[in-house]
């Protein structure tokens, strides 16, 4: 089996990310929100450790959305008809994104609450 070079692997991974950005509205929303959080954190002077936690949380959100999209595409590849199990798989993957989003909101609240409480 021929091994692929690192450049080709990275190029393919970027193609996958760009595909999701192009065709998945929710991923674009996550990217915009993530960028706004990073800008806000920089403007407010959030300490380094909290900033790193924000970056990890944003990354977790992106990973969850990428995996969710991958599951949806695999299910769509296998069947075009509605199947209860296909629906369950898609719902579970969407649930993972919801858990990541709720976690991100909680982290954001903990990090930013002292900046906005009067």
39-91 pLDDT per residue, tens: 999 999 999 999 999 999 999 999 999 999 999 999 999 988 889 999 999 99
**DSSP letter, residue 5:** P
> Average pLDDT of the chain?
95
Domain definitions of the chain by residue range: 6-116
Return the pLDDT at 2: 74
Q: What pLDDT, in 10s, does the model give residues 24-36?
A: 999 999 999 999 9
Q: Cβ atoms within 10 A of the Cβ of 60, count? A: 16
Distant-in-sequence, close-in-space partners of 64: CB < 8 Å, separation ≥ 6? 96, 97, 99, 100, 101
Distant-in-sequence, close-in-space partners of 67: CB < 8 Å, separation ≥ 6? 93, 96
Domain 6-116, CATH among 3.40.33.10, 1.10.287.3610, 3.40.50.300, 1.20.1530.20 = 1.10.287.3610
Interatomic CA distance for residues 88 and 84, integer angstroms: 6
Return the pLDDT at 117: 80
**Which residues carry out catalysis?**
65
Quickly state the pLDDT bin for 3 (edges 50, 70, 90): confident
Return the pLDDT at 118: 57
Alpha carbon of residue 67 to chain centroid? 8
Q: Tell me the three state secondary structure of residue 97.
A: helix
Quickly state the pLDDT bin for 1 (edges 50, 70, 90): low
């Amino acid at each position: 089996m021929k091994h692929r070079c690192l450049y080709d692997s990275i190029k393919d991974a970027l193609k996958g990310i760009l595909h999701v950005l192009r065709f998945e509205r929710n991923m674009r929303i996550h990217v915009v929100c993530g960028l706004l959080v990073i800008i806000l954190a920089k403007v407010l002077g959030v300490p380094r450790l909290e900033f790193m936690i924000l970056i990890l949380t944003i990354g977790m959100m992106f990973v969850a959305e990428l995996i969710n999209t991958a599951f949806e595409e695999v299910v769509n590849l296998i069947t075009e008809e509605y199947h209860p199990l296909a629906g369950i798989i898609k719902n579970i993957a969407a649930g993972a994104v919801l858990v990541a989003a709720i976690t991100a909101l909680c982290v954001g609240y903990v990090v930013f609450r002292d900046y906005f409480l009067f």
